[in-house]
Amino acid sequence: MDAIDDLNRWMITEGRVSNDPTKVVSHLCATLIDAGVPLWRVNIGQRFANPLLIAWGVVWTPEATETYDVTHARMLTDGYLGSAFEYILENQRPLHKSLRDLDPEKDHVSYLEFAQAGGTDYYATLLTYGDESQHGCTFATQSPNGFSPKHLEMIEAAKPGLASALEPVTMRKSSKSLLRTYLGDGPSEAVWSGAIQRGERTTLEAVVMFSDLRGFTALSDSSNETDVFDALEGYFDVVVQSVEEMDGDVLKFIGDGILSIFPIRSPADRSHQCQQATRAAKGVLTGLAALNKQRAKTKMPPLDIGIGINAGQVSYGNIGSPGRLDFTVLGRAVNVASRIEGLTKLIGQRVLATRSVAEATPELFTGCGSHEVRGLADAIDLFHLSDPASDT
């Protein structure tokens, strides 16, 4: 077992500080193979503390080592139910299963697929971390003789080092994914690096897009809680996907309002980011139309939306008390985007932009006059999308 002792020492030294899960798993597999374990496919699954993703993992084969993510929705499918991962977590013990003479009516589809690909034997075991969280590891072989008790003993003996190397990676990934889920890409990186402490602000130029559901109060009063949440989730999906496809950041959900920004990193970037925000707004309209078609099939009322787009200086940072912080974005540009969104229904256009956006993208907008905006001393010029098909 000298090779396994050396492997564990590597894991708790170089592996632990590498922050590279593919390197860690590749080294594990190479060492086990050199020690005589006939590995063909290894899957090291890691559970997430995240409302969107429930797990991530690393799959090793002789050809490549790759990472993957698992959503909560997948956990409710046949891909997980009845699998080795479910078995070891539910029963709190390893699983050693031959892949020969399987029963297509009873055995999980993953076993059948591995057997069809030439797998002969399969082993699944638990990996336990210091916070008592448990994670799954599976090992498959194509050896005619399968895994021997000695092979399984070496796999089990390598688990302490593997846990030592992967636990800090998992903790970092969980923390970063949580920050990204709630703050978006750019701000989450700033918070993670410690650049935004309480009271500290980052000021930048950005295109601000504020979207809001129309008639949400009436919808809430006339629908049950499940229908309201379903409507919000569908609407949020449409907006977030459209913004992220255009490389924007969704910063905040404010009731049924969504605040997004497209940072302007240089003067030459202004026109591009204004175009990106406008494309995102058009994507929202297209996505909402598709969502309403699905809602109509279940006799649910259509959703309508207003979007305000403005460009200018914003400041974001953490505010609050020493024990409770909230990440927020402030500035005149944010206020104006929100206020002009409130004028969309009155003006009869679902997307409105200020001159700061329209001048940077003259081919995309048409003027719709000067309008009073609550909180501003003077009326401002507003613009709607030039392409009528994009605003229906």
- Provide the percentage of residues in the chain whose pLDDT is more than 90: 57
Q: Which residue has the higher pLDDT, 362 or 316?
A: 362
Would you kindly state where each structural domain of the chain is located, as residue ranges? 2-182, 184-391
3-state secondary structure of 259: strand
Backbone angles phi, psi at 145, to 5 degrees: -95, -5
CA distance 230 to 232: 5
65-79, 279-293, 375-389: which has the minimum mean pLDDT? 65-79
Rounded distance, CA 121 to CA 143, Å? 8
- Residue predicted with more confidence, 29 or 251: 29
Q: 299-338: per-residue pLDDT in tens? A: 888 999 999 999 999 887 766 666 666 667 778 899 999 9
* pLDDT (0 to 100) of residue 15: 92
Assigned CATH class of 184-391: alpha beta
Contact 359, 275 (CB under 8 A): no
Residue range 95-99: mean pLDDT, rounded = 96
pLDDT of residue 390: 46
CA distances from 208 to 85, 171, 186, 203, 330 (A): 44, 33, 14, 13, 11
- Identical topology for domains 2-182 and 184-391: no
Partners of residue 9 on adjacent β-strands: none
* pLDDT tens digits along 339-359: 999 999 999 999 999 999 999
The pLDDT value recorded for residue 149 is 97
Helix (H, G, I), strand (E, B) or coil at 36: coil
| Span 147-189, pLDDT tens digits | 999 999 999 999 999 999 999 888 777 666 655 665 666 665 6
Would the pLDDT of 73 be above 90? no
Q: How high is the pLDDT of residue 253? A: 83
The pLDDT assigned to 194 comes to 59
Least confident piece of the model among 35-49, 174-188, 239-253, 335-349: 174-188
pLDDT of residue 318: 67
193 pLDDT more than 70: no
Tell me the two tokens of residue 233: 């989730």
Query: How far is Cα 75 from Cα 99, in angstroms, rounded to an integer?
Result: 23
Average pLDDT for residues 107-113, to the nearest whole number?
93
Name the pTM for this structure.
Answer: 0.61
> So what's the pLDDT on residue 187?
60
What does the mean pLDDT of the chain come to?
A: 86
Backbone φ and ψ for 387, nearest 5 degrees, come out as -85, 105
**Is the per-residue pLDDT at 72 higher than 80?**
no
What is residue 62's DSSP assignment?
S
Contacts of 73 (CB under 8 A, 6+ apart): none
Specify the pLDDT at position 220: 75
One-character DSSP codes across 65-82: EEEEEEETGGGGSTTTTT
> Per-residue pLDDT for 75 more than 70?
no
Give tens-digit pLDDT for 196-218. 555 566 788 999 999 999 877 77
Instruction: Grade residue 30 by pLDDT with cuts at 50, 70 and 90.
Output: very high
Task: Among 3.30.2310.20, 3.40.50.10310, 3.50.50.60, 3.30.450.40, name the CATH number for the domain at 2-182.
Answer: 3.30.450.40
- The stretch 228-238 carries a mean pLDDT of 88
CA neighbor of 267 nearest in space, from 362, 360, 337, 190: 360
31 has pLDDT over 50 = yes
**Per-residue pLDDT, 350:** 94
Separation CA 255–CA 248 (nearest Å): 20
pLDDT at 76: 47
